[in-house]
Amino acid sequence: MSEKTYLQALNEALRQEMESDEKVFILGEDVGQFGGCFGVTQGLFAEFGEERVMDTPITESTIVGAAAGAAACGLRPVAELMFVDFIGVAFDQLFNQAAKMRFMFGGKATVPMTLRMPQGAGIGAAAQHSQSLESWFMNIPGLKVVIPSTPHDAKGLLISAIRDDNPVVFLEHKLLYGATGEVPDESYSIELGKADVKREGSDVTIVAYSQMLYSALEAAEQLKADGINAEVVDPRCLLPLDKDTIIDSVKKTHKLVVAHEAVTFAGAGAEIAAIIADEAIEYIDAPIKRVGAPFCPVPFSPPLEQFYIPGAGQIIEAVKSIC
């Protein structure tokens, strides 16, 4: 076990899976000698060569379509888009092809592809490079949606994603690439669809993931000074969603706040709140609260961007309104 960044953890997962399975290969824009837009694939081109670390043209539909086709033929591609914001031009390849094949061929075809995409605001990249779009993918049967928060989870979940026989959307917040934490050197996997309680508590459940997890943990520490003991649950995977861990936490705390960076309207928080309303309303003692971004494009102006991104202050305000 040694301390690594989130980026190093992802790189190590890719290297170890490529070493153990020759069917694993990488494709995307500038993933070769350049090492990827944010550096996640650094060194892999030199180690594995151009046949397993493939630079592609700037055409997301080709990247996703090629990955889906290769996966259907028995390979395990790991495709990278520079920004999740560009997935729109590859919708058909992902939603209508990759996600549907297993069902439409009666289980005879599998599509073991991983689609890595950075997302999130905070680097001044403006409206077309800063969105958080996880809820789009949650509405598509046939996909899995993974969104790790810590370096440890990033490595273990990426390995599981690569080994999975279904198309996995793997979302990485740009601000997390420099986050550090203890990461085992050896290969390990984390079950997809299994949440993690990042902080034990008894007074309120805060469900948060990706970059927002750190705001939730900061909020929990500040709330402690006011006598409020918050439990923080990190789903880690939004599809499938670990409902049981969230419901078990709510049964203990009787209050729920869901926080994410994506816009609040029709976000993942709405689905989580609906699940609790449907399946555990008898354990709730106060209205369910959601914290998310306002319903507008991500601003380019740095002060406006910081205003747009929800943080610990909004989580504390939401908790205090029900505790």
The set of catalytic residues is 129
265 to 97, 136, 137, 290: CA distances (angstroms):
28, 12, 15, 9
d(CA 83, CA 60): 10
Q: Is the dihedral of CA 259, 264, 267, 270 positive or negative?
A: positive
Which tokens in the block code for residue 264? 């609040």
Name the residue type at position 85: D
Query: What contacts 281, CB < 8 A, 6 or more positions away?
Result: none
d(CA 321, CA 323): 6
Residue 245 is inside which H or E element, if any? helix 243-253
| CA-closest candidate to residue 213, choices 195, 226, 227 | 195
Q: Within 13 Å of residue 286, how many CA atoms lie on the same side as its CB? A: 17
112 to 23, 89, 149, 188: CA distances (angstroms):
10, 21, 23, 18
Coil, strand or helix: which one is 292?
A: strand
Please list the alpha-helical segments (H only) found in 93-209. 101-104, 134-138, 151-163
Could you tell me where the beta strands, DSSP code E, fall in 184-255? 196-199, 204-208, 230-234, 237-239
β-pairing, 144-146 with 168-173?
parallel
Expressed in angstroms, the distance from the first to the final Cα of the chain is: 39
